[in-house]
Structure 1
Amino acid sequence: MWSNPNLRAPNGLAHTWNSTLNAMLKELDGNHGLPVLFDEIGMSEANSFHGLLYMLGTGVEKARLNRMGGFRDKGIWTTTIIMTGEFSPLQQSEKYEGLQVRLLEFSDVSWTSSGNQADAIKNGILSNHGHAGPKFVEYILPRLPDVLNEIETKEQEVKTMLKAKGLTSNLVERRAWHLAVLMETVHCINESALKLDLDEEAILQFLLDQEVRANRESDLGETSYQYFKEQILSNWNHFLKKGMGDDQDRFHCPSEIWGRIDRIHDGSFEVNVFPENFERIMRRGSFTSIKSILIKWKNNGRLSFEEGRITRKRKLIPNGLQLPIYVAKFNDADEIIPPSVPTEEDAVTASDVGVRDNEKL
Structure 2
Amino acid sequence: MNDDDEQQATIPLSSFPPNRRKRKIDMKPDVENSQIDDASLEGNVTRIPKVRKKTSVPKGEVEEYFPKEKHGHFRVKGTSLYTAETKGNDGSESQKLLGRIVYIKEILHRIDVDPIEIYLKLRYWYHSQWEEIMIRRDQLQVYELSKLMISGVDVASYKVKQVAMFLDYQESDAPKRYEHTTLGWTVEGKKNIYKHNQMVGDSVYNSRFEGDFILSNGTFQGWQDVVKQEVMGHVPLEFALVAGFSAPIVSWIARDFDMEVLVLHAYGDSSKGKTTAARLFVSPFGRPARKDGGLILNWKATQNNMIGRIANTHGIPLALDEASMNKMSDFTEIIYLLAEGKEKGRMTKEIRLRKERTWSGTFFSTAEHSLLMKSNQNTGLFVRLQEFDNADWTIDGPHASRLKEGLLEHYGHAGPLFVEYLIKLGKPKVFELATEWSKRVHDKMPSQDGKSQRMSEKYGMLMATAELMNKCFVFQVDLDKLLEFLLAQYQTVATLGEYDERAYEVLKQLIMQHHTKFARDNDLPVANETWGKIFKKVNGIEVAFIKQVFRDQLIARGFENPDQILSKWKAKNLLLTEEGKKTKKRTIAGISSRDMYVVKFKENMLEPIEMETIKYREKQKKILDKNTGIQLVTEISYMPINEDLESIDDM
Using structure 2 for the length normalisation, give the TM-score: 0.39
Match of 2:491 in 1: 212
Q: What SS does structure 2 have at the residue aligned with 1:106? A: strand
Match of 2:454 in 1: 174
Greater helix proportion = 1
Whether the 8 Å CA contact 2:516–2:640 is kept in 1: the answer is no
Whether the 8 Å CA contact 1:91–1:292 is kept in 2: the answer is no
Whether the 8 Å CA contact 1:3–1:129 is kept in 2: the answer is yes
Q: How does 1:193-208 map to 2 (within 5 A)?
A: 194-208=473-487
Q: Does 1:188 align with 2:188?
A: no
Distance 1:69 1:359 in 2: 55
Distance 2:340 2:531 in 1: 45
Write out per-residue CA displacement over residues 272-319 of structure 1, whole angstroms, 9 at most, x where no aligned residue.
Answer: 9xxxxxxxxxxxxxxxxxx999545974348xxxxxxxxxxxxx999x
Q: Does 1:4 align with 2:278?
A: no
User: Aligned pair in 2 of structure 1 residues 357, 120: CA closer, same or farther (>3 Å)?
Assistant: closer
Q: What SS does structure 2 have at the residue aligned with 1:270? A: strand
Write out per-residue CA displacement over residues 67-109 of structure 1, whole angstroms, 9 at most, x where no aligned residue.
Answer: 2222222111112111111111111111441012211111110
Match of 1:76 in 2: 358
User: Aligned pair in 2 of structure 1 residues 71, 296: CA closer, same or farther (>3 Å)?
Assistant: closer
Deviation at 1:354, TM superposition (A): 10
Match of 1:313 in 2: none
Q: Does 1:270 align with 2:544?
A: yes
Match of 1:157 in 2: 440
- Structure 1: 5+ residue runs without aligned partners? 254-258, 273-290, 303-315, 319-327, 343-350
User: Aligned pair in 2 of structure 1 residues 211, 127: CA closer, same or farther (>3 Å)?
Assistant: same
Which amino acid is the alignment partner of residue 331 of structure 1? V
User: Aligned pair in 2 of structure 1 residues 231, 132: CA closer, same or farther (>3 Å)?
Assistant: closer
Which amino acid is the alignment partner of residue 140 of structure 1? L
User: Aligned pair in 2 of structure 1 residues 294, 188: CA closer, same or farther (>3 Å)?
Assistant: same
Match of 2:303 in 1: 21
Q: How does 1:1-361 map to 2 (within 5 A)?
A: 1-10=284-293, 12-144=294-426, 145-162=428-445, 166-192=446-472, 194-219=473-498, 222=501, 225=504, 242=519, 244=521, 248=522, 250=523, 262=533, 269-270=543-544, 294-296=557-559, 299=562, 300-301=565-566, 330-331=598-599, 352-353=635-636, 357=640
For these two proteins, the number of residue pairs brought into alignment is 292
Query: Root-mean-square deviation (CA), in Å?
Result: 4.3
Distance 2:641 2:298 in 1: 48
Which amino acid is the alignment partner of residue 432 of structure 2? N
Deviation at 1:353, TM superposition (A): 3.5
Write out per-residue CA displacement over residues 113-136 of structure 1, whole angstroms, 9 at most, x where no aligned residue.
Answer: 111111111111101000110111
- Structure 2: 5+ residue runs without aligned partners? 1-283, 536-541, 547-553, 570-587, 591-595, 611-633, 644-650
Shifted more, 351-360 versus 83-92: the winner is: 351-360
Greater strand proportion = 2
Q: What SS does structure 2 have at the residue aligned with 1:91? A: helix
User: Aligned pair in 2 of structure 1 residues 195, 67: CA closer, same or farther (>3 Å)?
Assistant: same
User: Aligned pair in 2 of structure 1 residues 71, 251: CA closer, same or farther (>3 Å)?
Assistant: closer
Match of 1:308 in 2: none
Write out per-residue CA displacement over residues 232-267 of structure 1, whole angstroms, 9 at most, x where no aligned residue.
Answer: 8xx9xx8787363xxx4x4699xxxxx986169xxx
Whether the 8 Å CA contact 1:101–1:175 is kept in 2: the answer is yes
Deviation at 1:18, TM superposition (A): 1.5
Shifted more, 39-48 versus 127-136: the winner is: 39-48
User: Aligned pair in 2 of structure 1 residues 271, 50: CA closer, same or farther (>3 Å)?
Assistant: same
Deviation at 1:229, TM superposition (A): 6.0
Using structure 1 for the length normalisation, give the TM-score: 0.68
Distance 1:25 1:240 in 2: 45
Distance 1:227 1:60 in 2: 33
Q: What SS does structure 2 have at the residue aligned with 1:195? A: coil
Identical aligned residues as a percent: 25
Which amino acid is the alignment partner of residue 262 of structure 1? K
